[in-house]
Structure 1
Amino acid sequence: MVFAVVAMIGNGGAAAELPRIASMNVCTDQLLLTLANPGQILGLSRYARDAFQSWAANEAQRYRMLSGGAEDILVLRPDVVVASLFDKRSTRELLKQKGFHVVEFGVPRSLDEVKHQIREMGAIVQHPDRAVAEIARLDAAIARARQAVAHKRYRVLPLSRRGWVSGSESLLSSLLTEAGLFNAAGELGVAFGGFASLEAIVNLKPDFIVVSDAGDTAEDDGRAFLLHPALERFYPPSKRIVVPDRLTVCGGVMLADALDMLIAELQRVER
């Protein structure tokens, strides 16, 4: 696909003019922020500044926030709109009907799919060299993780609020597998993701659980699950690998940082 917009300039010659882009999703936000020139970004999703979800929340402060509807995009008239297949379908369809070029990204389930999306965004913003550099950074992080975990074969269980388990076919599982760890969620019969009981988790006996927060405060019932006395007994801080959600909720360049944090956490719990 070609995303170039050609314009005539001063001496009558033709030059490639970089496309102006609006993003509707927190995951496309982060790809865009990494690969595009600042002047190309017309607006980001309403969650772009949410530090819980976005690895690039601080950088997003300098850009316009979009409402999630079609109205502000219609006013901005970007050359390209990037969105997730999970964004409101009626909005995406309306923009297409109005003649906008809407590029839709799925949810990646593997690091190969993540790399494909980095290349795709690199093509959209017309900076494929930056995409190549970010993929190389991700590959280097994978290599470091594999070296750090070689021959250990730990069984780990990614565990979130209310007992949600990231399954063996999820992106987080792909990240763990690439590092040489084994996601024990498959032993619970969980593929993409699902809830597991406290009893099932304790009986599974993984070597470590992977959580997004090391805090010891239960601000609600969902968080309280992770602080249940039984889990705290069998999985104290020395048995918990902490990787924040903002590094794994999207498939993108932040996964290199997630892998480096995973290595650091393994070194901590092994001491």
Structure 2
Amino acid sequence: MFFRIICGGLLFAAVFLFMGPAQADKPKRIVSLSVCADQYVLGLVEPDRIAALSEDARNPHISLQYEKAKKITITRGTAEEILLLKPDLVIANRWRGLKTIEILRQSGVPVLMLSLPVTYNQIEAETRKVAEALGEMEQAEKLLFQLKNTMQLDAPIHGPRAAYFMPGGYSAGQNTFVEMVLHAAGYRNLASELGLKGWSSLSLEELVLKKPDVLVMSFFTKGKYSLSTRLRQHSAMQELMKSTPVIDVPDKYWACGGWFLYKAIHYLKEKKT
């Protein structure tokens, strides 16, 4: 009997050591504080390990995995509310809720901060970083395969010239994940050809003058009229849209940069004429 107990104990210890810390100590009460973080968490772990998601997780317009989020607790993101959830890992973005993050860290809660990746290599590194913290490296490789499998890795030379346009007259030039998506789908980026970098304004006059091959739009909520969206109703824009193909990419396909951009790439490839 004693011998069997000792052998059983040694076997358990061997299994534990084989699992390693990434397997043995996987976080089991994960809290996500942004729609971008939500997509990583929902894509990498099972729902029973998620203590809460952000308020945007169930928004069908901007959350790709909103269906999976329906049965998971939602948090408004206050420090008090999060601490009551007793999380063993919080995942957040660097550009929001910094005071909350400070309080959480002072309370001893582990926090993983996401960056804003704009290239495939950066998305790959970011996905693996999150996966390592969650103990889900194998799942991360499956997600990255979905993205890489859709991509045209070299920027197109003769593809259609696309003008990306969003509310407020903004476009996406060099060093944005929108440009990465356009190139991956086989389009040239008009904003970059005009020398724009990052998220920059593109005037309606310049847009009409340059005559792009295709207009790519997002975040113009249907049925909603506001100062930021009225540019789409402008007479000059309406005339341009009559003579130029328009691709309305669902917002949730590229609300932010990450492994889930494969949906935007695939969508743009399907719509390419």
Q: TM-score range by the shorter chain?
A: 0.7 to 0.9
2:50 aligns to what?
Answer: 41
2:21 aligns to what?
Answer: none
Contact 1:218 1:227 in 2 (8 A): no
Change (3 A) 1:237 1:91: farther
- RMSD of the TM alignment (CA)? 2.4
- Cα deviations by residue, 1:165-208 (Å, 9 ceiling, x for unpaired): 11222110111123332111124442111222211111122211
Deviates more, 1:226-235 or 1:34-43: 226-235
Change (3 A) 1:183 1:150: closer
Give the whole-Å Cα distance in 1 for the aligned partners of 2:190 and 2:173. 9
TM-score by length of 1: 0.86
Percent identity reads 28
Which structure's CA Rg is the greater one?
2
Deviation at 1:81, TM superposition (A): 0.8
What is the identity, as a one-letter code, of the residue corresponding to 1:18? K
Contact 1:110 1:175 in 2 (8 A): no
Q: Residue 263 in 1 paired to residue 269 in 2?
A: yes
What is the identity, as a one-letter code, of the residue corresponding to 2:27? P
Deviation at 1:122, TM superposition (A): 1.5
- Cα deviations by residue, 1:21-42 (Å, 9 ceiling, x for unpaired): 1111110111100111211100
Change (3 A) 1:77 1:214: closer
Name the SS of the counterpart of 1:258 in structure 2.
helix
Q: Residue 174 in 1 paired to residue 183 in 2?
A: no
What is the identity, as a one-letter code, of the residue corresponding to 2:237? L
Deviates more, 1:34-43 or 1:113-122: 113-122
Name the SS of the counterpart of 2:168 in structure 1.
helix
Residue 232 of structure 1, aligned match among 238, 243, 251: 238
Residue 26 of structure 2, aligned match among 15, 18, 21: 18
What is the identity, as a one-letter code, of the residue corresponding to 2:46? N
Name the SS of the counterpart of 1:165 in structure 2.
strand
Change (3 A) 1:176 1:43: same
1:99 aligns to what?
Answer: 108
Change (3 A) 1:108 1:232: same
Name stretches of at least 5 consecutive residues in structure 1 with no aligned partner.
Answer: 1-9
What is the identity, as a one-letter code, of the residue corresponding to 1:80? L
Give the whole-Å Cα distance in 2 for the aligned partners of 1:98 and 1:76. 13
Name stretches of at least 5 consecutive residues in structure 2 with no aligned partner.
Answer: 1-7, 17-23
